[in-house]
Chains A and B, each alone.
Chain A
């Protein structure tokens, strides 16, 4: 598997909980970015001249913050520089407030076949708390529009554990999402990322977060409701109807190769991981000056590779394929993993079915601690 990720660093407005880098959209900075992206793609093309990308994912930021012309140019550039498989999964992330029928038609036209919509909540109060720019009805309308524009694979993102959120708020959001029959639903527990307004408010004690018990209840409710509705819990935060798991993301968790372009994008190729400058201006400056946009690069050592395989593999329902793990990381790493796995299985956090180590639902809720044990 080989995946291509394009990072679009613009947002109309930054959400209060979002820890990702983004910069306000202006036509000029977006033009400069699009041309820099072209330069970066051109620098990479030779390395991939004989390889075909199986998935393409355009994320951000808010890709749909770009103008239709700019989006089209991005796509044209990518198709010129890289070979994308004919049956590739091509995802674009979108926000309800930046979805237009014109934009949707364009996306379909240029070959996008999966739309991931950042809905977050169907409760007005929670949307306001999160600093979103759309209403619940606008979110639902965006999903319906996407459907009528021809999207057969639509994903919705939801957040739980938001300050002021009650279990019934959450239930309402889940039910509203299900009513729209998306193929894919991601449910994220709110995390207080460094540098966000939420984090500083929480630090100051001004954020009334739901307690641990409530959060656990919300998470358990989501799992139960979504599974009941026919969605598979294929990764800690991701649910999909059969056949609709996001192939692009699964490739990350299987430690497949990927090329990332755009500010802050990471790549993983031939045992090295490297990433671009986060800062859009610096990213553009470097590329326009004929320099590489890569600012961080590391070789993943064998022990680190094994730790990553456990850390990522156990995020998925199917868990870690032990035979493959042994082949890739050696017999002693395998032995260590299985012996620790056995102990965790004993206490109901993991299961060790023939050939696979996976986390139970309980283990998934505690995956950070469980993984820390398994890789210690």
Chain B
């Protein structure tokens, strides 16, 4: 039997509802971190260790912290706090972290109420049979409404909120009650201490010195150094070098036994060989069945990434390789664009994932990048019966060869203040959405569910949703399958030549307006040049819109005498730097904004 004094739990919360702050308070209260260490961490939350996470206020990488807690019943308990990524793109990762737990704290901001993401994660937690403890946070704020929040938890989520714990993680109020509830309400782990080893791998990352570090929840049996283990999906055999826990400091232990959560280091070379959701097994005494729920996660959104300066290609390649070391959920392969030169087609779990990778490349590796329009994976059936998957508009077969195209659909759940229902419905309609549900979850908050083509939301749906609702609406989505659609490839031509990096796949009904928007947008961002630039949008050989950038008429320095020469030359050098940021397509100089134009719908 597993140790009765173990509690494995995670925290569910919408962005900014206070998950990380509550985690910090728990660490502090249980003495995992001294006040001094907390102060050293500054105002930053301890569990979020990447700058990016901090800036975006979200947690990308899951962590597990091992805490000791002396409960009021006089017993010492081990609490494993498993942090979960907080975004829709990482639903699978979240589900695996939850599978490692028996309970969850549901943190709801008393000033904001229940959000779409909260809802999605609660459903996920319920799917995993977790005991849920509602925590009403930010009660210190004047606008906090505890009763209303309780009511929402009951009505919107359907959870009994009579035992909800009022807390202010910021001020440390309610932390003791939260810890007591964890001990009382979250059940201890079950599992067979003597059964063959089965451990759920719920996170992994690459460490330069130790190779891949695996975070796992031991479900059955025990894992200890020297043991030969294998991962169910790969079958590869590794020898365990060390095991331990994070307190949050890395602490070696003799073993991890049934019910425990900790790290395993076993000489695994690549994160791609330690996939989230996989089952760690004992080679000498293999379990008959792996743990349920493993999925090979496939990228859903693809985009080209090109270095602005073509000399940076090798650097970009190295950077992608390094990032992939720690993130096996994104893929990349070399790609060549006539317009942009050498680059990579990258696959991401979703939009946020794409943004994060792109930002890390730009920030950590100081690369200037041009992204091409994100696209989904289309399932194209050719007339000869062959079925191909297309993740790049340039690879769409010509119209006469296509029998049909299917595109992925999602179901989006949006929770919004009533005020914005009109604009949001208009947005969903405009994006070819089909309404599934619209209901009041409270008297002034509405849940809207729409079935939408994924390609309509990969562009700028989330940004638009946020700007339409002043940031008050929240979004969650899940894939709902492939649907046949009347899709066409929209080409953008500059002086008659198609520019591959600007082409995209769109619904036929929207092609005309999209073409017009794009030509107009390009006209506004392409600076006047020595020559006239004709911008056209075309479907096949049919031109659907056209704009012209008139050539420059006059661009001359009228005075250049003895004292002007150095200044003028420096200006020229500066211009040259500016030119490096321009992409030369034929005789046309295109600013980066031109390529970004296709990323925006409006």
Contact = CB atoms under 8 A, between A and B. Distances in A.
Interface stretch (A79-87, A170-178, A258-266, A281-289): A258-266
Interface in A268-293: 268, 273, 275
Given A189-B556, A366-B530, A367-B555, A252 B568 contact: no
A370 B530 contact: yes
Contacts of A368: 555-557
A147 B68 CA distance: 102
B554 interface: yes
B236 interface: no
A311 B568 contact: yes
Contacts of A369: 529-530, 552, 555
A372 B563 CA distance: 20
B559 A268 contact: no
Interface string B551-592: 011111111111101101100110110010000000100000
B558 A188 contact: yes
A273 B565 contact: yes
A365 B561 CA distance: 18
B530 A189 contact: no
Interface in B136-185: none
A191 B559 contact: yes
Interface string A237-275: 100000000000100110000101000111110000101
Contacts of A317: none
Interface in A65-100: none
Contact of A237 (B558, B568, B573, B587): B558
Nearest to A368: B555
By size class, the interface of chain B is: 20 to 34
B553 A212 contact: yes
Contacts of B559: 188, 191, 237
Given A347-B531, A369-B552, A375-B572, A265 B563 contact: yes
Contacts of A260: 562-563
A121 interface: no
Contacts of A236: 556-558, 560
Of listed A275, A369, A375, residue having the most chain B CB within 10 A: A369
Interface in B529-555: 529-531, 552-555
B561 A308 contact: no
Contact of A298 (B530, B531, B566, B575): B566
Interface string B490-530: 00000000000000000000000000000000000000011
A236 B556 CA distance: 8
Nearest to A370: B530
A366 B531 CA distance: 11
A207 interface: no
B562 A258 contact: yes
A143 interface: no
Contacts of A296: 566
Q: Which of B531, B557, B562, B579 has the most CB of A within 10 A?
A: B562
Contacts of A213: 553
Given A373-B530, A376-B576, A367 B557 contact: yes
Contacts of B531: 347
A166 to B, nearest CB: 17
Interface of B: 529-531, 552-563, 565-566, 568-569, 572-573, 575-576, 579, 587
Interface of A: 3, 5, 188-189, 191, 212-213, 215-216, 219, 236-237, 249, 252-253, 258, 260, 264-268, 273, 275, 296, 298, 304, 307-308, 311-312, 315, 343, 347, 349, 364-373, 375-376
Given A252-B561, A315-B560, 16 more contacts: A188-B559, A189-B556, A191-B558, A191-B559, A237-B559, A267-B562, A268-B562, A349-B530, A364-B556, A366-B552, A366-B554, A368-B557, A370-B530, A372-B572, A372-B575, A375-B576
